[in-house]
Amino acid sequence: MPSLAAGCHPSRSWLKKLSQSSSAQPDKEFILSGHTFAQVFEMAAWLKDFYSSAGCNEKTICLAAENKAIIAAALLASLDGGPVLLLPFAFSKSALQEMQQAGGFIFAISDVERDFPAETKVICPEPGQAGSLGNLLEINPHAELLRLFTGGSTGAPKSWSKTANNLFCEAFYLSEKHHITDNDLIVATVSPYHIYGLLYSVLAPLLSLATVMAGTPSFPGEISEAVQKHCATIFVSVPVHYRVLKGRPISNNSLRLAFSSAGMLAQTDNEEFCRQNDIPVIEVYGSTETGGIAARVRHHGEQAFFPFDTVEWNIRHETLYVRSDYIAPDTERDENGFFVANDRVELTDDDKGFFLKGRTDTVTKVGGKRVDLEEVRDTIKKQPGVAECLVISMDDPGGREKIIAALVQGKRVNLKELRKNIAGQLEPYAQPRLIKKAAAFPLTANGKYDLAAIRQLFA
């Protein structure tokens, strides 16, 4: 049964809010103990003038800065008619070269040493330099603002184009819905080069006048110290970091919001964090191409995800269809403008939300037989001693067929017993041909499974 919601906030709302940010509290810290809001806009103005006066007539420019204030300034300058920003998925020499080949750039914005391709011209704005931005209320919010690059390990990196309206409209919604204000201090453990990190640690603060901590702590001690020392009010993180924080309280009663995205948060990790810090976790469901779609708070008894008020959605044949102002303009859509998500879902009894039932792209064929990798994973996870499991399909080195491989975690896992147990629960063709035990799963910088590294483990 279809379920629809209202449309997004008009671009005029976030443009007005952004225009006010430039002068509302100029001395307010955008970066904790770092750049102020006035300095962010000064750097943006300098960049805009540089583009027009220093011979930078390129259509694209690489953004590879570490400082979130410079990232914010670059976004503002491009918003005001500057080049389209290219955001790398990694900063290695090979990743930057791949991105240059895919997107093309001569200039790069950076405040740290990077191994850029030869002849790249690096610029770094500094506050206090002369320059002026135009009237932001007059910009075109539907023009391309940036391209987020993802992957690259299995071929050319994939890029997702995002307009200013895609990004700022969602950031405005988040700021309004969660009442983010100038009293908030945000600690984020996810990179601003991931759309989730960009929205929550750069764009939302820019609109709400909240302060964000510099850097992205990733080790448990670093995270705990950052939250406690600075009395953070908002924690933005990913499932892998919630896992390493198990058993460690990080808040001294200052936190009021905690977010998780970029993958599914394990129930036990969720419960432990809530118990240790006396604060629920808001789990956000979405993707790079769609932006945020829905959220749930399991501490409040929500097992289903409930779509944002700004997202139109419906379910057809267990498949989720969504339409919103957050969706990248270059995504494929149906005749009604709906994007088809790669997840199987089930509508709640009250038609207000949906349960995730696994990805549609987890189905593969082995020997001509259909195998759902999520079902295989669920079976393995129920076995004695298994703490976590990842199941993937791989090309059979000795033929043209697919084979199934499983990577498991758990100190007490006995692989021989595991194979024996699942043999009685899975069809022969659905049983993993390869099973390996690992102390930890290889992850990317954004906290997602590094499938290229995982496949290499089975090579």
pLDDT at 459: 76
Residue ranges in the chain modelled with pLDDT below 70: 1-11, 54-57, 129-132, 151-157, 358-363, 367-368, 397-401, 445-448
Looking at 301, 331, 354, the residue that finishes a domain is: 301
Q: Identify the pLDDT of residue 8.
A: 45
Residue 21 lies in a domain: yes
Same domain? 277 vs 372: no
Domain limit, last residue, from 269, 301, 333: 301
Q: Are residues 395 and 275 in the same domain?
A: no
375: domain CATH number is: 3.30.300.30
Tell whether 236 and 95 lie within a shared domain.
yes
Domain membership flag for residue 316: no
- Gyration radius of the chain's alpha carbons: 23
CATH classification at residue 148: 3.40.50.12780
255 contacts: CB under 8 Å, gap ≥ 6 = 227, 232, 233, 234, 235, 277, 279
Q: Is residue 190 part of a domain?
A: yes
Per-residue confidence (pLDDT) for residue 397, from 0 to 100: 65
Same domain, 277 and 150: yes
| The pLDDT of residue 359 | 65
407 lies in the same domain as 277: no
Could you tell me if residue 156 is inside a domain?
yes
- Are residues 27 and 145 located together in one domain of the fold? yes
Which tokens go with 169? 């409209």
CA angle (402 as vertex; 396, 403 as ends), nearest 5: 75
Q: Is 37 a member of any domain?
A: yes
19 falls within a domain: yes
Burial of residue 96 (CB within 10 Å: 0-12, 13-18, 19+) is buried
Residue 205 lies in a domain: yes
Residues forming a β-bridge with 144: 163
- Domain count of the fold of the chain: 2
Same domain, 408 and 268: no
- Check whether residue 200 and residue 72 sit in a common domain: yes
Q: Give the orientation angle of helix 415-423 with respect to helix 373-381, to 10 degrees.
A: 120
* pLDDT at residue 374 in the model: 81
Range of the domain at 414: 367-457
Q: In the prediction, which pLDDT does 7 show?
A: 43
Residue 372 within a domain: yes
Same domain for 149 and 28, yes or no, is yes
CB crowding 269-291: b at 16 or more within 10 Å, else e: bbebbbeebebbbbbbbbbbbbb
Q: Is residue 379 domain-shared with residue 269, that is, in the same domain?
A: no
